[in-house]
């Protein structure tokens, strides 16, 4: 069942999107070589709690196992679902931060990949391509299109640049549950899949690899890594389908302000 949201519900999700964007920015402000991923997680947890929300991923339950943190922090060849730890970030790494905020009965979900210091040019190209593909996909999130048009936009753009698309992990509907119908794959055919209706809310989240598309899951039951150990990037917005132009309910505005002031994060 695909839920359509009321305009009041869209405003709840948008308000959560602001808290979420600010939580991301609080994290971005302390990203530098030497910081541990657990320290990043603590900042996000406290910011979300201080603003009356709950981190959507904390204790997120998948067949009985619970995710132990507020952020998924995925470094270099980790695609998604990395668990915060005592690992210290290093110059030259890329780090994807995925976060969700639950408040007033609804979730918002977004992700951003940062380049720290001296990152290889090919990897910066991967980040730019993945981020650009997110916005090309959002252009397709309009009444009259289908879910496959979103996937096609991402796949066509990224594969033309020589990158590959992860198949096993997909975007999703967002609402009272973090993951609702429909699945929103990052690959697909034009005109394929469920029709997009006004006020459907979906998370669009391209996961794009510099090398081959194959991935595997680590023994911790969460961390997803590329099989060839080449870098992977991830950007995500929660958007409402509208006539003519999608309404982006999450925001990178605060993140990008933090990046512009950071001595350590490269503005891609
Ligand atoms: Mg997410
Ligand atoms: Mg998501």
Domains and CATH numbers, the chain: 7-261 (3.90.230.10)
pLDDT per 10-residue tile (average), the chain, 268 residues: 96 99 99 98 98 98 95 98 98 98 98 98 98 98 98 98 98 98 98 98 98 97 98 98 98 98 97
Global pTM?
Answer: 0.98
> What is the torsion angle, in degrees rounded to the nearest 10, for the CA atoms of residue 120, residue 124, residue 125 and residue 128?
180
| Neighbour count for residue 107 (Cβ, 10 Å) | 27
- Ligand closest in space to the Cα of 170: 2
| Alpha carbon of 229 to ligand 2 centroid (Å) | 23
Q: What is the DSSP secondary structure assignment for residue 83, as one 8-state letter?
A: P
| Alpha carbon of 200 to ligand 2 centroid (Å) | 15
At 251 the pLDDT is: 98
- Ligand closest in space to the Cα of 169: 2
Helices 7-29 and 37-50, axial angle in degrees (round to 10): 140
Ligand 1 is an ion; its neighbours by CB within 5 Å are 98, 109, 111, 236
Nearest of 124, 110, 120 to residue 28 by alpha carbon: 110
| Alpha carbon of 184 to ligand 2 centroid (Å) | 10
Separation of alpha carbons 247 and 9, rounded Å: 13
- Ligand closest in space to the Cα of 184: 2
| Alpha carbon of 77 to ligand 2 centroid (Å) | 19
- Do 209 and 254 contact (CB within 8 A), yes or no? no
Q: What is the DSSP secondary structure assignment for residue 68, as one 8-state letter?
A: -
Give CA separation, 51 vs 16, 46, 247, in Å.
10, 9, 23
| Alpha carbon of 111 to ligand 1 centroid (Å) | 5
At 134 the pLDDT is: 99
At 219 the pLDDT is: 95
At 12 the pLDDT is: 99
């Amino acid at each position: 069942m695909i839920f359509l949201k009321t305009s009041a519900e869209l405003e709840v999700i948008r308000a959560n999107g602001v808290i979420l964007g600010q939580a991301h920015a609080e994290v971005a402000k302390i990203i530098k070589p030497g910081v541990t991923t657990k320290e990043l997680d603590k900042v996000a947890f406290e910011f979300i709690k201080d603003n009356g929300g709950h981190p959507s991923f904390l204790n997120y339950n998948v067949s009985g196992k619970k995710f132990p943190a507020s952020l998924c922090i995925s470094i270099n060849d980790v695609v998604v679902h990395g668990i915060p730890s005592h690992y210290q970030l290093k110059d030259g790494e890329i780090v994807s931060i995925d976060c969700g905020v639950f408040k007033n009965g609804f979730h918002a979900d977004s992700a951003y990949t940062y380049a720290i210091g001296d990152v290889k040019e090919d990897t910066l190209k991967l980040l730019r391509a993945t981020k650009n593909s997110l916005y090309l996909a959002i252009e397709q999130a309009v009444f009259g299109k289908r879910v496959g048009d979103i996937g096609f936009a991402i796949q066509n753009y990224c594969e033309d640049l020589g990158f590959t698309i992860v198949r096993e992990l997909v975007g999703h509907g967002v609402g009272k549950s973090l993951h609702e119908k429909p699945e929103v794959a990052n690959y697909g055919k034009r005109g394929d899949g469920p029709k997009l209706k006004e006020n459907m809310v979906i998370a669009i989240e391209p996961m794009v690899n510099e090398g081959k598309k194959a991935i595997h899951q680590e023994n911790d039951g969460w961390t997803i890594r590329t099989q060839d150990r080449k870098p992977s990037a991830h950007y995500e917005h929660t958007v409402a389908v509208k006539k003519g132009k999608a309404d982006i309910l999450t925001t990178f505005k605060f993140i990008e302000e933090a990046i512009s002031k950071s001595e350590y994060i490269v503005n891609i």
